[in-house]
Every structure is written in C-alpha cells, then in structure tokens.
Amino acid sequence: MKKILLLLTCLLVGATVVPAQDYIKIMSYNVRNAKGMDNVMDCRRIARVIRNENPDLVAVQELDSMTQRYGQKYVLEEIAQYTDLHSAYFPAIDFDGGKYGIGILSKEKPLAVQGYPLPGAEEKRAILVAEFEDYVFACTHFSLTEADRMASLEIVANLAQNTTKPFYLAGDLNDVPGSVFLEEFQENFRILNDVRAQTFPAPLPDRTLDYISVWKDSAPKLDWVTREVLEEPLASDHRPVSVLLRTALPAEELFRTQPYLQNPTNRGMTVLWETVIPAHSWVEYGTDTTQLQRVRCLVDGQVEFNESIHKIRLNDLDPGQRYYYRVCSQEILYYGGYHKIYGNTAVSPFYSFETPAEDVDHFTVLVFNDLHQRKDLFQALYAQVQGVDYDFVIFNGDCIDDPKDHEQVTETLKVLTETVNGSSIPTIFIRGNHEIRNAYSIGLRKHLDYAGGRTYGAFNWGDTRIVMLDCGEDKPDDHPEYSGLNDFTSLRQEQVTFLEEELDSKAFRRAEKRILFHHIPIYGMLGENLCEPLWRPLLDDARFDVAIHGHTHHFAFHPKGTSENNYPVIIGGGKGMDNATVMVLTKTGDELTIRVLNTRGECLLDWSSKR
C-alpha cells in the first residue's frame, strides 16, 4: 500500500510531514500467455499495458513456464523484468514440457507466498496467496464448471478467514454478474470493480469475467477512487481491470492540530481544529463529561463534511461557568446521492475552558507582537511567562509572516496556540500589515474566528471593554507592491463609523476599564500613519485607560500627554532576540498593571493605572 505524503515546508517550524490517505491500485489481467488477438506473443506489449497503469498489485492468469509451445519462456518473469515488479508464480498443471498457471506482480516484495490447488473438471485450477505488510493478496483463475467454482469458493473462504489482514482476491472467475455463483460469492466478498464494464472478449467485450474483490470480514474501510476496464483490445483476449482504492485513515492519524479556542464573546466560544483530510466534524460539550450536547456546523441545513478546517461555535454559554468539550472528526470515504461510506472517527481528549463572569473584575492576558513566525523567539518570550496564570492571549499583529499557503498558516498557528494551551485558553489574533501580504493572506479567515465576523471589533471580559482595530497596510493602496488589489482606505473609513458607535455605546461607557489594541501606533510613531487622519480626532478624546501596539520593532512607553496622547501608550518590541517583548496585562479590581519583559526576563516596564 502506498502512503501519499504531503511534504510541507514552514518557516516557523521547518519541514513537516503530514500523513495523508492510503491508496492502493489493484489490477487483474488474463494475459493468455502474452498472445494477442493478432496471434503474436509479445511480453513487452503486456508489460506496457501494466506499466502505463502503474499498479501496486497485479493478478495475472494464463501463464506458461518453460513450455515447448512458447519456446520454453518463463512468461511471468519476462513481464516482471519489463515492469520492474516483483513476481510470484504458481503452476496449476504440468503442460507441454513445462508448467501452466497463475502469478502475482507487486511493487512491494511479499513477506510470504503460498499456492493451493483448486478443483477443475476440464483442467486443474489454483489460487496463489501473497502476504504483504498491510494486507494479503490472492490471484485465481476459476474453473469453467459451476460445481468447481462453488467448491473453490469454500477453499478461498477458508484461506481468507485464516488471516487478520485485509484479504484481496482478483482474477478470472469465469462467471458473469447475476449468476448463482456470483450471488453466493458476494455474500462474503465485496466486488470492487464495476461489473457493468465488460471484459471479454477483448475486441468487443460482451460479458464480465474478471473481478477485483475484498473479503468483507477483514476489509478495511475503503472505497474506490477510479475503477475501469482498460481500452486494450489487442494484447490479450481479455481486457485488464483496474481499481484505485482509497482506504480510511486510522483514527489516530486524522487530527492535524489540537483544537484551539477563539472569539470568546457574547456568551459564546468558537472551537477550531484541522484534520489532515476533509471530514465530518462536531463538538461535544457540557458542564461535565457525562452529559454532553453535540454541535455541528450546518450550512443551509446541510452538515458541512468536506472541509479540513473545522470551525464550530458554542452559543448560549453561562457566564462564569467551566465547560468540558472534545472534538470529533469522521472521514467520509464516499458521499453519493443515496449512499455514503464512512471511515474512522477520531475523538480528542476532553479539554475545558471557563467563560468570564459578567461582573468579573480580575483577569490576566498575555500580549505578543511582531513574532514574524520565529519559533525560537516565541519560545524564548513564552519561557519568561510560563508561571503566569492567564485567561486569554492576544497576538497583536505580524505574528504570521506573509502567509503564502494553507500549510504555512496551519503550522504557525499550531505552534502559537499549542504553546499557550489554546485548547483551554482563548487566543485572539489582530492583523498586522504582514498578515495581509502574500497569496494566502485572504485565507486567514478560514483559520480564525473574528468577533462579529470582522477583523476589528470590541468585547467585554467581565467589567473591562477591549477594543481592537485593524490598521491595514502601512503603505497607500496605490503602492506598486499591492498591484491594485488592496482597498484599506475603505476599511479604515469603515472603522471610523465603528469607533463613533463604540465610543458612544453603553458597553464602552459603563466599563470599569477600557483597553485599545491595534498594530500600528498612532501616537509616538515617526513617519506617515495612514490611520491617523481618520481615527485620531476620535481617539484624542476617547476615554481609554491604555493603548497597546507593535509594528515599530522598538519597545516604547509614552505616558499620558507625552506624545499628544490622552492615555498611556505602550509599544511592543521587535523580531530580534535583543529587542522582542512580551506583555503581561493584569486587571485586579480598579487597577490595571502591565509588565513588559524581554527574552532574558528583564522587566522593561512595570506600569500601574494607579501610579
């Protein structure tokens, strides 16, 4: 079985190998000793047919070995040499100075091979069984007599029952769909090829004699990706049958990331996670682990089943309550109009989170900025706050660097959220200018859940109001780098309306404390600021207790009034080991405190709203 692997390169974590699904291609071919319909014996021609299909396994029937009639050729071995496949042969009868029988070709060398005789009134028949690491594969050519086929089926069933591995059987069964024998055959074997696609005679097929099947009791969860009778009318008197199968991933390989919490607003919480393949997913949650509700993602009344990023919202949560949850993902191998085939179901361990009480007056939040996907930098900063008991985490821009593809974003978020225990602690991502660059920047929405569905917004954590703005890019929209694909001017203008409404809202006015976050600072920054002419008239008079920013790559503290600012402004450090910072913001009663630490654990600022 071949494992298709996705090799993922990520600047943050380096090369990563993510398991993907198992595929196996099986072929059955009655080659008539490589004698074509033109009566020319040509092993190379048969080999080309097989090689072009690139199967993992081939069941081959009607093979001479060292007979006089074919010049004492070992037909299977010649085909094997031309296809570069391993070969195994078993004779059914002695014939014309040599042998006549069946064979198996395989990419993987068998662990063991054993042949068994089968009954045949007109000539003796056989089955050849090869064991591989993950399955057993058998080739056969049944008798022309129904009684012999029935007797053979009993022998084959005994062989299939004596292995714990999946047992595949392919070959010329010498009977047609709907027959008494095929009906009995299908009681224990699932036929995998399309029996409506006829295989014999090769020039103009009018019946199906060739089959690929699997023993039902040992069959893995699988379905076909492609199944066909090859358009080959000349090389033999049978046409070859080919099936590409997709087998279900083991449950333990389905999850790509741990779940991470987002958008802890409006008495709700969003749970996100990824699987390595598209899957049907849901969350089970409750106030304990015994009484669970089940929540799925519904789109216009349909369960979403074909996504690998899973985003499920838990609503109507009680404030100040601890909830337990687990995530579940089930592979769907086949989704037809009237029939579905399910794979395995992965179930995570239980995680828990606590919703903030509506009047809670204490919390702690960690703030990171400008990590630029440097794993070593992030870990060095996090090492300085590991003893801190925090309630949520804010990544205040330029933490995901120029996202180019899904893999880069996934691996970056995986490191960030798992490091801060994002399965139990909500994480909030504010866009910086680097998050909105490169081809996959628009795809960040799939991986994150913004409050109110916008990249800016506001929410309460207890009695504190937190306002988040999205500055957009740091250059004008008509800058050549953007090729006319940006309109952040409109986004900034849109936030003017938002700010006007927010600053006048009851939630803002009644809050005990008010904290402003956005990536690019307005106060205390040199050079042009595209947000300033729009937002500053509102922010100059806004009643914030503190504003927290990044972007400049230099830590700075601007007390109230020192840069025409109406409240203290704190700017986080940069992306180097010598200038990066992490902030620990704590609210206790009517006091806010902020400690700013560098990678060496040195405290660069210890600020209190009461000082």
Residue 350 tokens, joined: 């239980």
Q: What band does 11 get if pLDDT is binned at 50, 70 and 90?
A: very low
How many residues appear in the chain?
A: 611
The answer to whether the beta carbons of residues 384 and 583 sit under 8 Å apart is no
The answer to whether the beta carbons of residues 568 and 547 sit under 8 Å apart is yes
- Output the pLDDT for position 12: 32
- Output the pLDDT for position 22: 82
Instruction: Give dist(CA 9, CA 409) in Å, integer.
Output: 11
**What's the whole-number mean pLDDT along residues 15-30?**
71
- Output the pLDDT for position 96: 85
The strand pair at 167-172 and 189-191 is best described as unpaired
Q: Which residues contact 454 (CB under 8 A, 6 or more apart)?
A: 470
Instruction: Give dist(CA 493, CA 316) in Å, integer.
Output: 33
Q: Which residues contact 356 (CB under 8 A, 6 or more apart)?
A: 264, 319, 320, 363, 391, 460, 461, 462
Instruction: Give dist(CA 147, CA 228) in Å, integer.
Output: 30
**What's the whole-number mean pLDDT along residues 65-90?**
90
Q: How far from 144 is each of 57, 141, 360, CA to CA, in Å?
A: 25, 9, 82
Query: Which of the residue ranges 187-201, 259-273, 299-313, 392-406 would you say has the lowest mean pLDDT?
Result: 299-313
Beta carbons within 10 angstroms of residue 419's beta carbon: 14
Share above pLDDT 70 across residues of the chain, in percent, rounded to a whole number: 97
- Output the pLDDT for position 606: 98
Do the domains at 2-247 and 369-376+396-581 have one common CATH topology?
Answer: no
**What's the whole-number mean pLDDT along residues 542-547?**
97
Instruction: Give dist(CA 505, CA 460) in Å, integer.
Output: 12
Tens digit of each residue's pLDDT (9 = 90 or more) over 111-134: 999 999 999 998 999 999 999 999
Amino acid at site 107: K
**What's the whole-number mean pLDDT along residues 458-483?**
94
Beta carbons within 10 angstroms of residue 64's beta carbon: 26
Q: Is 503's pLDDT higher than 80?
A: yes
Instruction: Give dist(CA 47, CA 253) in Å, integer.
Output: 36
User: Which residues in 446-574 belong to E strands, given as ranges?
Assistant: 457-461, 464-468, 513-517, 546-549, 556-558, 569-571
Q: What band does 2 get if pLDDT is binned at 50, 70 and 90?
A: very low
Tens digit of each residue's pLDDT (9 = 90 or more) over 206-252: 999 999 999 999 998 898 999 999 999 999 999 999 999 999 999 99
Q: What is the DSSP letter of 105?
A: E
Domain residues of the chain, as ranges? 2-247, 251-353, 369-376+396-581
User: Which residues in 502-568 belong to E strands, given as ranges?
Assistant: 513-517, 546-549, 556-558
**What's the whole-number mean pLDDT along residues 471-489?**
92
Q: In the CATH scheme, what is the code of domain 251-353?
A: 2.60.40.10
- Output the pLDDT for position 129: 98
**What's the whole-number mean pLDDT along residues 576-603?**
97
Share above pLDDT 90 across residues of the chain, in percent, rounded to a whole number: 87
Fold of 369-376+396-581: Purple Acid Phosphatase; chain A, domain 2 (3.60.21)
Q: Which of 56, 53, 143, 159 is nearest to 102 (CA)?
A: 143
Q: What band does 26 get if pLDDT is binned at 50, 70 and 90?
A: very high
Residue 478 tokens, joined: 């008509």
Buried b / exposed e over 318-348, threshold 16 CB at 10 Å, is eeeeebbbbbbbbbbbeeeeeeebebbbbeb
Question: What are the φ/ψ torsions at residue 598 (nearest 5 degrees)?
Answer: -100, -175
Q: What is the DSSP letter of 239?
A: -
Beta carbons within 10 angstroms of residue 204's beta carbon: 8
Q: Residue holding tokens 């009484």?
A: 291
Question: What's the whole-number average pLDDT of the chain?
Answer: 93
The strand pair at 340-347 and 351-354 is best described as unpaired
Beta carbons within 10 angstroms of residue 295's beta carbon: 16
Tens digit of each residue's pLDDT (9 = 90 or more) over 148-200: 999 999 999 999 999 999 999 999 999 999 999 999 999 999 999 999 999 99
Q: What band does 356 get if pLDDT is binned at 50, 70 and 90?
A: very high
Instruction: Give dist(CA 405, CA 16) in Å, integer.
Output: 14
Buried b / exposed e over 532-561, threshold 16 CB at 10 Å, is bebbbeebeebebbbbbbbbbbebbebeee
Amino acid at site 538: L
CA 48 to chain CA centroid, nearest Å: 36
Fold of 2-247: Deoxyribonuclease I; Chain A (3.60.10)
Q: Which of 273, 334, 284 is nearest to 307 (CA)?
A: 273
**What's the whole-number mean pLDDT along residues 345-368?**
96
pTM of the model: 0.84
The answer to whether the beta carbons of residues 414 and 389 sit under 8 Å apart is no
Amino acid at site 512: E
Helix intervals (H) in 54-200: 75-83, 146-161, 180-188
- Output the pLDDT for position 20: 43
Question: What are the φ/ψ torsions at residue 448 (nearest 5 degrees)?
Answer: -125, 160
List of long-range contacts for 448-453, beta carbons under 8 Å, 24+ apart: 448/262, 448/272, 449/262, 449/263, 449/270, 449/272, 449/311, 449/313, 450/263, 451/263, 451/265, 452/265
Kindly state the helix (H) or strand (E) to which residue 331 belongs, with its residue range: strand 322-335
3-state SS class at 19: strand
Q: What band does 29 get if pLDDT is binned at 50, 70 and 90?
A: very high
**What's the whole-number mean pLDDT along residues 373-397?**
97
Q: What band does 19 get if pLDDT is binned at 50, 70 and 90?
A: very low
Q: Residue holding tokens 């027959």?
A: 179
Region for residue 332 given its phi and psi (left: phi exceeds 0; alpha: psi -120 to 50; beta: otherwise): beta
- Output the pLDDT for position 57: 98
